[in-house]
Structure 1
């Protein structure tokens, strides 16, 4: 009977996620019978500009199980608000996702140590000062020659010094933390849901099958972005790393670069046709082509072909995809 209930729960959740728009995932009640994977260790990308706030990466849940939503720098919906990350918590019979939100204070996020200022309680990565956000460069990656509104507070515990990577609260093996009276009061303040930019970032993460734990074994290839919508830049970096390490042959590199160039040209042409914007269908098409290239980069970097031994390259890798 218990197994049947668990199966029904997963079917219901899967059906809800299948029919709901990806951009609304944060608002869907998600109940899962198995715990999310541990948090991966990764380096925070440098802040792309003044006024961006950090959103830590976390495990979402989709039609193929848990998938990683990369950490990212985003713009807040207004001056003075901070991001409270979402978290998974044991609800007695299943793991329930509590969606993140914007508000004047950082509330309870399950005691999960997301790092980069989110050590489990509150946020030590920065603060608002006179309408501008000041960054604590002891724990967040900011170029102080470009962004001058900074300070240093070394008392904040950074995730790189902590070895507990548990991603959920409560239950067996979970973090045994409870909301304080102050955090509970913060939960009743005026809140803002995730912005359109954040929702699009979640949608892009869900569309990339490489983010699913069933594919990456709990070790996502890309754990963080400098800002939403820079996937093409990230894949160029992955290609560059493959060339530098010798994992990509000249033939594989040329093929990947040509495909990336084709995607770029397609996006530019679509934007020119639509007044500088992409339609939802065009976004989906571009993302699917990037998914194909991402998969090929991973395959090409882990096949038998290398710059030192390129003789097998005619037998594999370097697949093609079309618009």
Structure 2
């Protein structure tokens, strides 16, 4: 194919993609205004089938400002992978961002990714198993995902790999609506510092070059 034609097609790609997918094309976005509070989903849709994982809704940013991308069920790219949601954070609490020249009051988007463990997602309580640290929606055993019906809505007549564990389940309280990680300080930002924990997680920080898969739908990075 002619090089000029290839460049023309690549330039037109964001216009051809649906809004949810096109949002992932822009990487390392930095915004001067923080995102609004998270929207709370009153009732989670029922899981459509085995192998689907819930990916929470989030605020994306486009030419017209912030817009809400609803949560949805997404088939895991391969057995054994879990979703770590993306999150907004204040740039001044990220030394790497400061070195790259971001203003102290900028808000930086950290893209979500698939990996064998749920990593750090800013201490944001997205609900439905993503309560700020770790993951309570279920676990993999071999090639099968076992769903925690104490957290997720699952039709047990269709999906037979289920269990109930309400330990660590948190309600949708007001603090669960905080939409960005501030690290410390006051205001609407979640106040969980970036740290690393071992064992069953609650969370570990995963380097995103390790096993990253773009989420082709809500919750993906951009």
Q: Same fold (TM over 0.5)?
A: yes
Determine the structure 2 residue equivalent to 1:61: 61
Determine the structure 2 residue equivalent to 1:143: 155
Query: What is the CA distance between 1:133 and its match in structure 2?
Result: 0.4
Determine the structure 2 residue equivalent to 1:312: none
Say if 2:174 is the partner of 1:163.
yes
Q: Are 1:139 and 1:158, in contact at CA under 8 Å, matched by a contact in 2?
A: no
Determine the structure 1 residue equivalent to 2:6: none
Please state which structure has a larger fraction of its residues in helix.
1
Determine the structure 1 residue equivalent to 2:96: none
Determine the structure 2 residue equivalent to 1:186: 206
Q: Matched residues in 2 for 1:181 and 1:153: separation?
A: 24
Alignment of 1:173-212 (within 5 A): 173=187, 174-182=189-197, 183=203, 185-187=205-207, 190-195=210-215, 197-198=216-217
Q: Matched residues in 2 for 1:91 and 1:19: separation?
A: 31
2:61 aligns to what SS in structure 1?
A: strand
Q: Which runs of 5+ in 2 are unaligned?
A: 1-10, 93-103, 198-202
Question: Root-mean-square deviation (CA), in Å?
Answer: 2.3
TM-score (norm 2): 0.75
2:174 aligns to what SS in structure 1?
A: coil
Alignment of 1:205-244 (within 5 A): none
Q: Are 2:117 and 2:204, in contact at CA under 8 Å, matched by a contact in 1?
A: no
Query: What is the CA distance between 1:126 and its match in structure 2?
Result: 0.6
TM-score (norm 1): 0.52
Please state which structure has a larger fraction of its residues in strand.
2
Q: Matched residues in 2 for 1:137 and 1:118: separation?
A: 14
1:192 aligns to what SS in structure 2?
A: coil
Determine the structure 1 residue equivalent to 2:23: 25
Q: Which runs of 5+ in 1 are unaligned?
A: 1-17, 203-323
Q: Are 1:103 and 1:189, in contact at CA under 8 Å, matched by a contact in 2?
A: no
Q: Matched residues in 2 for 1:67 and 1:187: separation?
A: 28
Determine the structure 1 residue equivalent to 2:100: none
1:46-66 CA-partner distances (Å, limit 9, x unpaired): 101111001000000001000
Q: Are 2:124 and 2:178, in contact at CA under 8 Å, matched by a contact in 1?
A: yes
1:158 aligns to what SS in structure 2?
A: coil
Query: What is the CA distance between 1:188 and its match in structure 2?
Result: 6.0
- Structure 1 19/114 Cα, relative in aligned 2: closer, same or farther at 3 Å? farther
- Structure 1 124/31 Cα, relative in aligned 2: closer, same or farther at 3 Å? same
Counting matched residue pairs gives 182
Q: Are 2:147 and 2:163, in contact at CA under 8 Å, matched by a contact in 1?
A: yes
Q: Matched residues in 2 for 1:63 and 1:188: separation?
A: 27
1:6-50 CA-partner distances (Å, limit 9, x unpaired): xxxxxxxxxxxx988253533511111111011111121110111
Determine the structure 1 residue equivalent to 2:7: none
Determine the structure 2 residue equivalent to 1:110: 122
1:68 aligns to what SS in structure 2?
A: strand
Of structures 1 and 2, the one with the larger relative CO (CA 8 A, separation 6+) is: 2
